[in-house]
Amino acid sequence: MARPPRGSIRGEAPAEEVEPLPEDGATESRSRRAPRVAAGDQSKRGRHKVLPGKPERLHKLLAQSGIGSRREMEELIAAGRVNVNGETAQTGQSATPGDRIKVNGKLVHLKFSNRLPRVIIYHKPEGEIVSRDDPDHRPNVFTALPKISGARWVAVGRLDFNTSGLLLFTTSGDLANRLMHPRYNLVRDYAVRVLGEITLEARQRLLDGIELDDGTAQFSTFQDVGGDGANHWYRVSLFEGKNREVRRMFEAVGVVVSRLMRVRYGPFILPPNLKRGKVLEVGEGDVQKLLADFDMDDPSPGRPLRKPRER
């Protein structure tokens, strides 16, 4: 089975930019360069430049305001669930900053392109769920995020309850959707501690492809980074985000993952100084580059997604 090409947005990062693995020190890394980030609680920062508003496609505005993807917003409009100034919205309709928009009867505040979306990196600890609605009322990641008005944080993918590490959030549902889209082939790197022995045969199976219940899964890279006994660590990468994929792959070759940490998602690297449960905000310049890489300035509906440009 051929391995997928490595997706990239930034240039190569030096090894020291990657967080050392727990209990075992720093490891060699092939990670990409991490965007610059600004520390601290960003909830009261009015740092985004606002330019005069202009009409924009309604489905795009709803998506970049964090309500959902563009396709989901088009479906809402087609179903008659979006209202503009007291009238039912039509597919392809535009809106301006002065319009009153309601979705399912609730007034929403649109985020126009003249205001940059916000992107933050959260160091998720174990024991938090990536959901606002949990019947078991477990702690969730959203309670640790900066408070914002007129928008909501959208998670870029998920990490399961017992997995820690890098988790991205943005105020743009459209950007979140593109960061998760399989067409962009963004790499995910994980630090993995396992119970059991990984033989050379098992390692090759993980690189060639493992058959899971929901299809074939494979690691793009597999690196032994050291440790003894029950404290042996590996560094793996893959290009998908299936539920519990890394854990299930190791279980398929007879070992159990005792600790799992995501250290990279696409161009973003978990900063080594970011403590668990803390947030860093991506700098404005890097957000602008990210939008350019993903053609986020194009309002045309239905335009095919394009792989990010190499830098």
Position 81 pLDDT exceeds 80: yes
pLDDT tens for 239-285 read 987 889 999 999 999 999 999 999 999 999 999 999 999 999 999 89
Q: Where are the domains of the chain?
A: 56-114, 116-184+279-290, 188-265
Could you tell me the pLDDT band of residue 297, with boundaries at 50, 70 and 90? low
pLDDT tens for 195-207 read 888 999 999 999 9
pLDDT tens for 110-125 read 766 667 889 999 999 9
pTM metric for this prediction:
0.66
Could you tell me the pLDDT band of residue 238, with boundaries at 50, 70 and 90? very high
* pLDDT at res. 40: 39
Query: Considering only the top CATH level, what class is 188-265?
Result: alpha beta
* pLDDT at res. 179: 92
Would you say the CATH fold of 188-265 matches that of 116-184+279-290?
Answer: yes
Position 169 pLDDT exceeds 60: yes
Fold of 116-184+279-290: Pseudouridine synthase (3.30.2350)
| 30 vs 87: which has the higher pLDDT | 87
| Residue found under tokens 């970011």 | 274
Position 299 pLDDT exceeds 70: no
- Please give the average per-residue pLDDT across 288-299, as a whole number: 74
Q: CATH assignment of 56-114?
A: 3.10.290.10
Residues noted as catalytic: 160
Could you tell me the pLDDT band of residue 41, with boundaries at 50, 70 and 90? very low
Burial class (CB in 10 A: 0-12, 13-18, 19+), 242: middle
pLDDT tens for 52-66 read 456 888 988 888 777
